[in-house]
Amino acid sequence: MKIAVLTKAIPSYESSIRVDSSGSWIDESVVNFVVNESDSYALEEALQIKEQLNDDTEVVVVIMGNENNTSKVLKDGLAKGADRGIFINNENIDTDPLSIAKLFSENLKEESFDLIFSGLQSDDLGSGQTGVLIGELLGMSTATLGIETKMEDGKIKVKRELESGWFQWVTLPFPASVSIQSGINEPRYPSLKGIMGAKRKEVKSLDVSSSSNENKQKFIELFIPKTEKVTEKITGDVDSIVARMLDILKNTLKVI
Amino acid sequence: MILVVLENQRGNIHAFSQEAVVAGQQLSEKLGLDLSILCLGENASSLRDQASDYNAKNLILAQHDLINTYSADGYSKALSQVISELSPKYVLMGHSYMVRDFLPRVSAKLNMPFVSDIIAVDYDSDSPIFSRQIFNAKLATKVKANSDTVLLSFQSAAFSSDDMQIGGSENQSDFSVNLEASDIKSQSEAEFQESASGVDLTTAELIVSVGRGIESQDNLPLVESLASAMGAEIASSRPVVDMGWLPPYRQIGSSGQAVSPKLYLSVGISGAIQHVVGMKGSKTIMAINKDEDAPIFEIADYAVIGDLMEIVPKLTEEIQK
């Protein structure tokens, strides 16, 4: 079986996010790029499937972006145990999910993956569409928000998280594209042996920087969200804080 | 035409769908386009009855044996047929887990953009501009779409169902969906809950919600006593459930429940976007957190900056007096 894991390099949660001079993207020079959280769970899930099947299953870590932002994340995936990598160089800032998915699909098509795993959404653009779009473009069956997977009778069973504490098992024939929810396993750390071995692993480099895919949606202006709410700050010693809270609960809101 | 697609949630129109109808009504008025509402698949005829006063020009029913229960394969194919036939300018849904699961398939099938998780709509003369949160809600962006048909999904509470315009529909019609058994590649089992819950947080007037700031399960009784003194339901953010301190049906947020109580008192919750989408519709938000920069304070009416371990017991004691 051939499993692709789509990973993305995104600004770390602690990074300072500032709008750049163009107004339509952020200043990347002050940003530390790390792997998108749910993608690391997707990679772990793929590695565990490979270990369980214990056959010639191959896990391929796939990443798109410019080399500067992505190389560490790709190396880390290989060090954790992916068999090889595919680096899709894209110097452009692409923010249209459909255009991004087409670039992936066009470049992954000939690999004929049985399974594509991705994180449920990226913590930068947050569209939550890429895995499903690629699934459709490549004629695969799809499922999202997987919180458990099982291989059974040549199919994959996925436990999907629904809303309000409900769940559902769906069985998908291969090829399948499945998005993975955070928290479903314990992503491993790369071992020293893994880190050394990663240097010898094959990375296929492709370049889509000159692609002419049309963007059907565009960011026209980034802005800092403003709150319309007037917030009353309640500070001080415990007694005065509690007194003010009681006053609000009793007299303003009349809930106690 | 503006087409709003309703989602079934255990027999009723999903709350997010009602908000999408309000978005549809406003878009329809602003752009001078007719509003149509599509009841698709699961429970569709009952949804049509429930939507009869949604002030839509057309109420459309699209049913087929193969979409009586949801599947991404069936729904994406059926909705694609409706869109191809009716050519609406905008197709609106709530940004639910089901929509995330199948609407990108429609986007890819029909080669049309899907602007997801929209928080606001503005207009540049007559052309709508959609706002979305990016970088974990640290920034937002205005998005313009360029296509004859654009798919849209709205974040919970971007529009309020209180603003629904009531009125009958002029026309009712049936759309005939063409599906074959071979179109449905995936097999879905029945939906289930992990633990039986007698609690419906969505109807609670008062909610006390606890987050990671409680530090240990041993401290949970502090918050439980406060909730009980106030006559409030207890709820939590995801980490508390992930650690097994409270059952999943107490969880508020994108993977839990969405609530809009009269008062939401959050205790030790930082306010990650996944939590905030489930509670920002609350009438009043009071938040206790020792970190003055906690994102929860950005949406709070009352920002209580202090140590919950001291404040909560004292407040409980005073309420009990």
B305 bridge partner residues? B289
Tens digits of residue pLDDT in A58-115: 999 999 999 999 999 999 999 999 999 999 999 999 999 999 999 999 999 999 999 9
* pLDDT at position B196: 60
CA nearest A221: which of B131, B124, B117, B123? Answer: B131
Q: How far apart, in whole angstroms, are the C-alpha atoms of residue B107 and residue A129? A: 10
**Fold match between B2-183 and B201-320?**
yes
> Is the pLDDT score of B198 beyond 70?
no
| Interface check A23 vs B, CB under 8 A | no
Q: Which CATH architecture has domain B2-183?
A: 3-Layer(aba) Sandwich (3.40)
Best CA proximity match to B43, nearest among B58, B61, B24? B61
A-chain residue closest to B255, CA distance? A163
Query: In whole angstroms, what separates CA B201 from the centre of its chain?
Result: 15
Cβ–Cβ of A141/B73 closer than 8 Å? yes
- Give the three-class secondary structure for B90: strand
Q: How far is A54 from chain B (nearest CA, A)?
A: 26
> Can you give the pTM of this predicted structure?
0.88
Size of interface A-B (CB pairs under 8 A): 240
Which of the residue ranges A13-17, A159-163, B106-110 would you say has the lowest mean pLDDT? Answer: A13-17
Domains and CATH numbers, chain A: 2-207 (3.40.50.620)
Alpha carbon distances (Å) from B177 to A157, B3, B65, B89, B138: 28, 17, 10, 21, 42
In this structure, of A15-29, B95-109, B168-182, the range with the lowest mean pLDDT score is: A15-29
**pLDDT tens, position by position, B254-302:** 777 888 899 999 999 999 888 998 898 899 999 999 999 888 998 999 9
| Residue B316: pLDDT over 80 | yes
**Residue B187 to residue A223, Cβ atoms within 8 A:** no
Model ipTM over 0.95: no
Q: How many CB atoms lie within 10 A of CB A246?
A: 16
- B191 vs A167: CB contact, 8 Å cut-off? yes
Q: How close, in Å, is residue B269 to chain A by CA atoms?
A: 16
CA B84/CA A128 separation, integer angstroms:
24
Distance from CA of B253 to the nearest CA of A (A): 9
User: Which class in CATH covers the domain with range B201-320?
Assistant: alpha beta
Give the pLDDT of residue A124: 94
Asked if residue A145 lies in contact with residue A160, where contact means CB atoms within 8 angstroms, the answer is yes
Neighbours of B1 (CB within 10 A): 16
The model's pLDDT over B209-260, given as tens digits with 9 standing for 90+, comes to 999 999 999 999 999 999 999 999 999 998 898 888 998 789 998 777 888 8
Tokens, residue A174: 């291969």
All structural domains of chain B with their residue ranges: 2-183, 201-320
Half-sphere exposure of B169 (CA within 13 A, CB side): 21
By Cβ distance, the residue of A164, A216, A235 closest to B112 is A216
Identify whether the C-beta of residue A55 lies closer than 8 Å to the C-beta of residue A46: no
Residue B229 identity: A
User: Could you tell me if B144 and B127 are in contact, meaning their C-beta atoms sit under 8 angstroms apart?
Assistant: yes
For residue A197, the distance in angstroms to the closest alpha carbon of chain B comes to 33
pLDDT tens for each residue of A190-239: 999 999 999 999 999 999 999 888 899 999 999 988 766 789 999 999 99
Residues of A in Cβ contact (< 8 Å) with B238: 183
Query: The tokens of B80 are what?
Result: 């694609």
Among A132, A150, A153, CA closest to A141: A132
Contacts of A250 in chain B (CB under 8 A): none
